[in-house]
Amino acid sequence: MQWLSFYEPVNHLKSVAENVWIADGGITAMAMYGVHIPFTTRMTVVRLNDGQLWVHSPIAYTPELAAQLDALGEVSHLVSPNMIHYAHIPGWAEHYPNARTWASPGVRERAQGQGIDVWFSDDLGDDPSEAWYEEIDQLRFRGSSVMEEMVFFHRPSRTLIVTDLIENFDPAKVHWAYRGLLRLTGVVAPHGQAPLDYRFTFRGRKKQARACFEAMLGWQPERILLAHGNWIQHDGTAALKRAFRWLD
């Protein structure tokens, strides 16, 4: 049974804004609560002013997708935005050995626990790297007792880039038997947000999360790119407020 439909075409760069692209990948299954839960996958690519490519949450490597990236610039940064988005970095790093690989909080320990061999050359912190600070802001979204996520904002295009803080599955792409579970967890478009189990991990720490949310709101994004589901093409600031209604 196919639980989810692809965001076609897969493994193909799609322009989002000037110097910003996404590429949708296949389905991945994450082990949770004794079962494997399927998710669609998506990565974001930003071409920096110096021609270097910044690749967020890489999907599985394919030669065809690599060729498309090579036509844009040099793959220089492979970014793990949180501790569960990292598994495809080794495949890309093998083909781009000069690329810097960026670790999110807790990802090294997670990879070791999962038996996945991945090496990170650098760590993401509260401040953007010197390689992209002139174009991309970043924020360590705090408050969860389990997983902190790195959030990014491409200033020239006013594009907010998140991972699991907002999931927004298209109900038309979800098998009816799976749709009810996604609605229960609150991640069905157009009202997507962080999954219910993730929101629970902020109990007692919502003050920290609200401060991070207010900082994101200050960016006034026009669009929001995310890893799972429909991305937000317009009125990103209003969508951001809806997605974080659980902090009220």
Q: Give the domains, in start order, of the chain with CATH numbers.
A: 13-247 (3.60.15.10)
More confident residue, 38 or 91: 91
Angstrom distances, CA of residue 186 to CA of 83, 141, 171, 197, 222: 21, 20, 12, 10, 23
The predicted model gives 101-129 an average pLDDT of 95
CA distances from 226 to 120, 155, 192, 217 (A): 23, 16, 11, 16
- Give dist(CA 192, CA 59) in Å, integer: 22
Predicted pLDDT at 176: 73
CA geometry: angle 220, 18, 60, nearest 5 deg:
95
CB 57 within 8 A of CB 46: no
The pTM for the full model equals: 0.95
pLDDT bin (cut points 50, 70, 90) of residue 35 is low
In tens, the pLDDT along 54-91 reads 999 999 999 999 999 999 999 999 999 999 999 999 99
Model confidence at 99: pLDDT above 50: yes
Task: Name the pLDDT band for 149 (thresholds 50, 70, 90).
Answer: very high
Q: Reply yes or no on whether the pLDDT at 30 is more than 70.
A: no
Instruction: Give me the residues paired with residue 31 across strands.
Output: 36
